[in-house]
A = this chain, B = another copy of it.
């Protein structure tokens, strides 16, 4: 078994990755995504669960949708969202599993 050195991800890819990370880097949006990982939910359900104004939740969702993280599905007058991008899902899972473990720092 030969130890393989990773090749460097090119800048264009890093920019895309940073775009997605920036969207995920918000506690409310992380919370939304982890809930959508369990099952699809409507804007209103999420707003109630997170105790946020519906328009705030709608904005977070539209932000994530624009970045391909979630997708919408309208049913009557309620709109259900689900996680769309499986890689964002992987990332979230990574965050969830490891707690993204920041040790307490000595600043």
Contacts and interface: CB of A to CB of B under 8 A. Distances in A.
Nearest to A20: B100
A102 B27 contact: no
* Identical chains in the assembly: 2
Nearest to A89: B98
B26 A18 contact: yes
A48 interface: no
Interface residues of A, number: 47
Contact of A88 (B8, B22, B90, B100): B100
A9 B32 CA distance: 11
Contact of A87 (B24, B67, B87, B98): B98
A76 interface: no
Contacts of A90: 94, 98
- Pick the 4 closest A-B CB pairs, nearest first: A21-B25, A22-B25, A87-B101, A17-B100
Given A20-B102, A87-B98, 6 more contacts: A6-B37, A8-B34, A14-B27, A18-B27, A67-B102, A88-B100
